[in-house]
């Protein structure tokens, strides 16, 4: 899990499974500086 700042107060988050099989990855919003009520856009850039 990686998170980094973008412009205008936005945050990029990367959840990357480097294994050869499917896996569940969890990131808590609070751990990356967002509150639990934050509205987010999510994209799967791999598929």
What is the per-residue pLDDT across 1-28, written as a single tens digit (0 to 9) for each? 888 999 998 888 888 888 899 888 888 8
**Within 10 Å of residue 19's Cβ, how many Cβ atoms?**
7
Residues 42 and 20 sit within 8 Å (Cβ to Cβ): no
pLDDT for the residue 47: 65
User: Going along the chain, which residue ranges are E strands?
Assistant: 2-5, 11-14
Contact assessment for residue 42 and residue 25, using Cβ atoms and an 8 Å cutoff: no
Tokens of 30: 């609070």
Name the pTM for this structure: 0.65
Query: Two tokens at 10?
Result: 């936005």
């Amino acid at each position: 899990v990686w998170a980094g700042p973008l412009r205008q107060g936005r945050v990029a988050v990367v959840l990357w499974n480097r294994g050869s099989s499917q896996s569940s990855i969890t990131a808590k919003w609070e751990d990356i500086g967002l509150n639990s009520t934050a509205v987010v856009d999510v994209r799967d850039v791999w598929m």
